[in-house]
Amino acid sequence: MDKKFYLVGAFEGDGHFHSIKTLIQIGVTDFDFLEEIKKVIKKIYGKEVRIINHTPAHDNCKEQRRINFNCGKDIYSELKNIKPNSKEEKIEYLKGLWDAEGSVGMCKKKIKRKRKIYDGYDKWLTIAQKSKKKLNYWYSLMNELGITSMKTYRKDTRSFLSIRKNSSIIKFKKKTR
């Protein structure tokens, strides 16, 4: 399986491409995720990257760490422009994307079935994104893989892609294992 598409998804989800320096940065609070990125970069490109402190914890914010991948012009161009084609490449891309940018939510909810009320939970997976073009692309990939998702556009530029149906969450989990 080509983990290159995992990197592409992660970098497009939560990374920054700096064309002048041919540098790709990704900063997150999930340090295990950064370790995975580091291993994949080493495996594919044979390059060592360091995980560095980025933002200390403050107020309600968690500590962030970052990887700076000084990849050079050729690798930079490849990672910035390559798109997944096969089903396997699309799955790896979505794994990287959701690992980088995705969040999980859950709250208690009253559920009514056949006149009875039960305590239940509303659950969802969500990606927030400013770019409607990226959001539409991710939505189309999810649909191609048979995973039902919803797009929500907001006026304040914080738009979302969500997976809300139990059957879709289960299908997403099975496809991205």
Average pLDDT of the chain is 90
What pLDDT does 29 receive? Answer: 84
Specify the pLDDT at position 41: 96
pLDDT bracket for residue 1 (50, 70, 90): low
Query: CATH number of the domain that 38 lies in?
Result: 3.10.28.10
Q: Are both 110 and 58 inside the same structural domain?
A: no
157 belongs to a structural domain: yes
| Domain range enclosing 171 | 101-175
Q: How many domains does the chain have?
A: 2
Is-contact 131 114, C-beta < 8 A? no
pLDDT tens for residues 50-106? 998 877 777 777 888 889 999 999 999 999 999 999 999 999 999 999 999 888 888
Question: Region 137-151: what's the mean pLDDT?
Answer: 94
Residue 46 zone, left/alpha/beta (φ > 0; ψ -120 to 50; rest): left
pLDDT score for 43 = 94
Please check whether residue 66 lies inside any domain of the structure: yes
Q: Considering the domain boundaries, does residue 91 fall inside one?
A: no
Q: Per the domain annotation, does 118 fall within a domain?
A: yes
From the list 142, 159, 67, 55, the residue with the least C-alpha distance to 97 is 142
pTM of the full structure: 0.86
Model confidence at 147, pLDDT cuts 50, 70, 90, reads very high
At a CB cut-off of 8 Å and minimum separation 6, what does 29 contact? 62, 63, 64, 65
